[in-house]
Structure 1
Amino acid sequence: MGDWLDHAKAIEELERERCIQAQLARPRPSGPSRSHCLDCDDEIPASRQALGGKTRCVPCQSFFEKGVHR
């Protein structure tokens, strides 16, 4: 009975590793960050700006990644 569970767990671990590797392979923003959000014009926190290449505040970036247009 444990055989199918072991197989399912192995598949899940492989898929998780594949997803992590795909995320790490994506190009990361570089260069200076904007001081204000591209979408809402609110100030981007200094801690986020320090990461480099940031153009949106966290809420607007979340909407952008989900494909939601406000």
Structure 2
Amino acid sequence: MADLADMANDFQESILSQTLNQRVVFSDESEHECLACGDEIPKQRLKLGGVKYCIECQSEIERKAR
């Protein structure tokens, strides 16, 4: 019989697995300049793939979507 710690661990692993399976995977080519403001998108961010906006503009888009 599983104890509470085992059950909690199984639940946590299940949630983590679901989250990883539902994540968005970007595979498109990234823009080098933000489509909204024209600022250069940092190289580190471009590595994500499919990036169209700088961090500030993407954050604003996501805030408005809520």
| Matched length | 56
The answer to whether residue 51 in structure 2 is matched with residue 58 in structure 1 is no
> Superposition pairs for residues 39-54 of structure 1, below 5 Å?
39-54=36-51
Q: What CA RMSD, in Å, does the superposition of the two structures yield over aligned residues? A: 2.5
How far, CA to CA, are the matches of 1:62 and 1:24 in structure 2? 23
How far, CA to CA, are the matches of 1:23 and 1:62 in structure 2? 22
- Report the residue type matching 2:39 in the other structure: D
Structure 1 spans left out of the alignment, 5+ residues? 1-9
After TM superposition, the score normalised by the length of structure 2 is 0.62
SS of equivalent residue, structure 1 residue 62: helix
Q: State the structure with bigger RCO (CA 8 A, min sep 6), 1 or 2.
A: 2
Q: C-alpha deviations, 1:4-42, integer Å up to 9, x for none?
A: xxxxxx8xxx8xx86x94575143332110000010010
> Superposition pairs for residues 17-28 of structure 1, below 5 Å?
21=18, 25-28=22-25
The residue aligned with 1:4 is none
Structure 2 spans left out of the alignment, 5+ residues? 1-7
- Report the residue type matching 1:35 in the other structure: H
After TM superposition, the score normalised by the length of structure 1 is 0.59
Identity fraction in percent: 40
